[in-house]
A and B are shown apart, each in its own frame.
Chain A
Amino acid sequence: MITFDNVSKTFRRHRVLDGISLTVERGERVALVGSNGAGKTTLIRCLLGEYLHQGRIEVCGLDPRADRTVVLARVGFVPQIPPPLKMPVGELIDFAAAVCGSAPERMIAVVRELGLDWDQVWRLPFVKLSGGMKQKILIGVALGRDSDILIMDEPAANLDPAARHILFHQLHERKDRAVMLITSHRLDEVAALVNRVIEMDQGKVALDDRVADDLEMTARLSCIVRLSRAEPAFARAMAEWHFTGDGGVWRGEVNGPDRLRFLGVLARYAGLIAGVEMS
Chain B
Amino acid sequence: MNALLLTARLDIAESLRARWFAFYSVVFGGIVVALLVFGLTESRILGFTGLSRLLVTYIQLCVAILPVFILMTTVRSVAGDRDAGVFEYMLSLPVPLAAWFWGKMIGRFLVVFLPVFGAMALAAVYATARGIAVDWGLFLLYGALLVSLSWAFLGIGMLISTLARSPDVAQTGAFLTWLVLLLFLDLILLGLMIRQQLPLELIVGIAVANPLQSFRTAAVLLFDPQMVVLGPAAYVILDAVGRNGYLIFAIAYPLVLGTACAAIGYRIFRRGDLP
Contact = CB atoms under 8 A, between A and B. Distances in A.
B95 A99 contact: yes
A73 B92 CA distance: 9
Contact of B94 (A51, A69, A82, A85): A69
Interface in A36-73: 45, 48-52, 68-73
B94 A83 contact: no
B13 A83 contact: no
A15 interface: no
A138 B86 CA distance: 13
Interface stretch (A90-98, A169-177, A245-253): A90-98
A147 B66 CA distance: 45
A274 interface: no
Interface of B: 1, 3, 6, 10, 13-14, 17-18, 84-97, 271-275
19 contacts: A45-B88, A45-B275, A48-B92, A49-B274, A50-B274, A51-B274, A68-B94, A70-B94, A71-B94, A72-B92, A77-B89, A83-B90, A84-B86, A87-B10, A87-B14, A91-B10, A98-B1, A99-B6, A99-B95
A91 B94 contact: no
B95 A77 contact: no
A81 interface: yes
A232 B54 CA distance: 75
Given A52-B273, A99-B3, A86 B17 contact: yes
A96 B10 contact: no
Contacts of B274: 49-51
B206 to A, nearest CB: 36
A50 B6 CA distance: 20
A70 B161 CA distance: 27
Given A87-B13, A87-B14, A95 B6 contact: yes
Given A68-B94, A69-B94, A86-B14, A79 B88 contact: yes
A77 B87 CA distance: 13
A13 to B, nearest CB: 16
Interface string A196-222: 000000000000000000000000000
A95 B92 contact: no
Contacts of A87: 10, 13-14, 17
* Residue among B10, B87, B93 with max Cβ neighbours from chain A (10 Å): B93
Interface string A16-49: 0000000000000000000000000000010011
Contacts of B86: 83-85
